[in-house]
Homo-oligomer: A and B are copies of this chain.
């Protein structure tokens, strides 16, 4: 065996199935060996710590324009550093087609946003807002360019919302191309009516955002997406599932044999709708879509994560400054930019609130934060695994660390965190991207802009049968 460049020694390694004590040996940016007493030029001791695959965040919105000059407050430079500080080494951001524009220009725009700026490796999904015949044609080239997933929205009427015919057509086309369709499930038609009624009645506060987006509006759209997938003979990936009602639809779809994949987010696991119901406007900090839900959904979602009914935890990171940005909706909740920051806190929250509090086993934590997202989105086994040949993307977590979340200590470019004051048990202390230490003790020490674009593989419906051939290319 040739010499190793670096060994992370004596830690407890966790994969999506196994937990074992081993050194992790790295050479040329890849994992070269697992063993004990591995010799190396450089050794970092991880005694008493967990060594996990670098986390993969497949739901981010960096540098996302919202119109009227608004852009989500983290760009690829700041957002990727925050991600790295939270143990995330790969992100998949949503490139967004503008209405009336083609897919290529959207892809180009996102490449321009990210190129040379991201501290972690990155890829894109493509959100289709205008599924014209031309756009359907272009999907082939987009897939060939390594962007193998498309998002459609049943919400945001008049903007990104598609109708069922468009949804079906994109699904058929994606299925042909081996691409996976992601879907934002809320019935935008009904929500639009409820919003209109609510505004007409003079109800304009942050909590009215919540009240105009009931769980049934999400469950209905979830059921519909699954029914359409069933009729299209295609798989479907549900983004940011929030509630028991929607989960029930996922279960029913699977019982019928539909290939449904589902993602939730830390905010739905840990926060509830009453946070929006404040006497002042501060509830706006918690406004996103789908909205936070009643507290009893949280236990349901945690159980579904552990049992395997939910496949992925993404962040839906879409930060807006409370001052100046969220405040635009001071007199009308419709003007509050939707979204919460979270790219940095996902893994710490799941480790502490999930694993340390006994709600989530360590293999399931790795599965939902790293292995599953990598696998579903064609990045596996380059990403998402601690195994010989995989990229040496690693995060070392100290289970003894005690951290109180404060937005000042975080690296996200925003003026608050939804988890302010939360005490965490355990925190990442070291992040490596392709064998390079990029975060040490909460400080970014890597090269900014060294993150590379990842061309992703097509979706493998039977992923186990051909993982060897699924290696993504750079």
Contact = CB atoms under 8 A, between A and B. Distances in A.
Interface of A: 1-2, 12-13, 15-22, 25, 32-39, 157, 163-165, 167-169, 172, 187, 189-190, 192-194, 197, 214, 216-217, 219-220, 223-224, 227-228, 230-231, 251, 254-255, 257, 303, 307-308, 355, 358, 360-367, 371, 381, 385, 387-390, 462-465, 467-468
Contact of A37 (B2, B164, B165, B390): B2
Contacts of A164: 187, 189-190
A402 to B, nearest CB: 18
Given A34-B34, A169-B193, A464-B364, A18 B19 contact: no
Given A35-B32, A37-B1, A385-B18, A468 B12 contact: yes
Given A1-B38, A164-B190, A361-B464, 7 more contacts: A21-B468, A22-B387, A32-B36, A35-B388, A163-B189, A164-B187, A223-B223
Nearest to A214: B231
Which 9 pairs from chain A and chain B are nearest by CB? A361-B464, A33-B35, A16-B17, A164-B189, A165-B189, A17-B17, A20-B387, A220-B227, A22-B388
Contacts of A214: 231
Contacts of A371: 17-18
Contact of A34 (B217, B363, B388): B388
Contact of A388 (B36, B216, B230, B385): B36
Given A157-B165, A220-B223, A255-B251, A464 B35 contact: no
Contacts of A2: 37
Given A164-B189, A192-B165, A22 B389 contact: yes
A41 to B, nearest CB: 14
Contacts of A12: 468
A291 B295 CA distance: 30
A381 B20 contact: yes
B16 A463 contact: no
25 contacts: A1-B35, A1-B38, A12-B468, A17-B17, A17-B18, A17-B363, A17-B385, A18-B371, A19-B467, A20-B385, A20-B389, A20-B390, A33-B33, A33-B38, A164-B189, A168-B190, A216-B231, A217-B227, A220-B227, A224-B224, A257-B303, A307-B308, A358-B462, A361-B467, A365-B464
Contacts of A361: 462-465, 467
Contacts of A192: 165
A220 B366 CA distance: 35
Contacts of A366: 17
A353 to B, nearest CB: 13
A410 to B, nearest CB: 27
A43 to B, nearest CB: 12
Interface-central residue, A18, A223, A255, A362, by most chain B CB under 10 Å: A18
A17 B20 CA distance: 14
A22 B35 CA distance: 12
Given A193-B165, A231-B216, A360-B464, A17 B367 contact: yes
A307 B38 contact: no
A216 B227 contact: yes
A228 to B, nearest CB: 6
